[in-house]
Chains A and B, each alone.
Chain A
Amino acid sequence: MTALLELEQLHYRFPGSAEAALRGASLCLEAGQRVALVGRNGAGKSTLMLHANGLLRPSAGQVRVAGEPLVYTRRGLLAVRRQVGLVFQNPDDQLFSASVVQDISFGPMNLGLDIAEVRRRVVEAAALCEVRDLLDRPTHALSGGQKLRVALAGVLAMTPRVILADEVTAGLDPWMRRQVLAIFDRLVAQGVTVLLATHDLSAARRWADQVAVMEAGQVVAVAPSDAIFGDAALRRLIGADE
């Protein structure tokens, strides 16, 4: 079985930065996985996610989606973004429209779908993220948790096979966090893979099937969460004992 998303030996240095952000990072995701991505600030988690979506282009290494190498052309990028969705940490960076409906519709419209299909997808994604009753509200009248779920719906409406979520549970109360993780679980049940970058180690341990550990631009370990949290050296590395 081919992996859904493969990141192979990625190297990247931000322009004007002395340190490389990625130094040979590799990660392989299969369908229907719940993966937590942990590691210190600056370990390269966000940079890795930006590569998986084609927003950054590695100086060396390769990104493959369903076995196909990512082609950095307009068409190639649209193809990868149809399959790999990215949810950002701060929903205010993602929500560009004052209308909830219009914001969620942006992704599917870009896929060139007809209006009826876009409408159907907007409603479906909104229902999945429990924001159906917010569709007619202006974006600026929503709470933080509501904005996050709308941002998530905007990505889900493109029906990606992989969701990359960058620290989306940070700053949420326990109830809201559980609600977001429950949405992810529903997606995983449909065969979607979710990669969640997080500092919330207890949530990572309880929720994830697999935990990937990043350190200094590399993925140093990928294993079932019990194995990661059972390893004294890895526990120290990710700060589980602090």
Chain B
Amino acid sequence: MTPGQRRWLFLAAMACLAVFLVWGLAGLPGFGDYPGPYGDIINRIAVSQTNATGVVSAINFEYRGFDTVGEEFILFVAAAGVATVLRRLRGEREGPARDEAAGRELQPTSEAVRVVALALTGPAVVMGWYLASHAQTSPSGGFQGGVVLATAFVLVYLGGQFLAFERISPVDLTDAVEALGAGGFAAVGIAAMVMGLPYLQNFLPLGTVPGAVSSSGTIALISFFVGVEVAAAFVLIVGELLDQTLLVRQGSE
């Protein structure tokens, strides 16, 4: 195929795409127009039914909790996949940890970066736990909290060095914690079944005051497990990539 023909083929394909795109856009409901009944129903009943004022969390961990289990295991499998693909292969060896940038001198970590990273580590831990443990009262949840918690570990790497990162997050421990988080979520569902209820049915006391931290039963518990799982998964993935970047050399080098 000559470049000229290829261009015509591309232009024809783009024209078709544009037609379908405009056709599809023309059929969209108006801006801010919500047609379905479910959102309105949930908005009316969620708080009184679950005692969780964070209605998004109530939906994620209660009304469509089964869906969230699936999403949870996507992340779990992704982290396991990264750990498997990036394991040390034959012909690779680990050298001393050092940052390298192609084509320039190695820069020592500046004092400014160290101070900022050090100052932010504590708040990141507190913020992460706050978000993960307050899904029932605020628009947060285990996922957001878990990622914020994981950034605390990345800050330790930025402010200190790779050895400190490895010391506070050994791979075996991170693996185990990740499995505990993912398994804990699934186990909450199974616990409901053991009690003769449908999978993931909320079986814990809901508390008396909507919006109290101790309210909402399994919603808060599941959010906690999700936070643990997500934090461990991200630390694992970043750790494996840091391993690859800093330690592993090709055997031929």
- State yes or no: do A and B come from one complex: no
Binding site for A on B (CB under 8 A): none
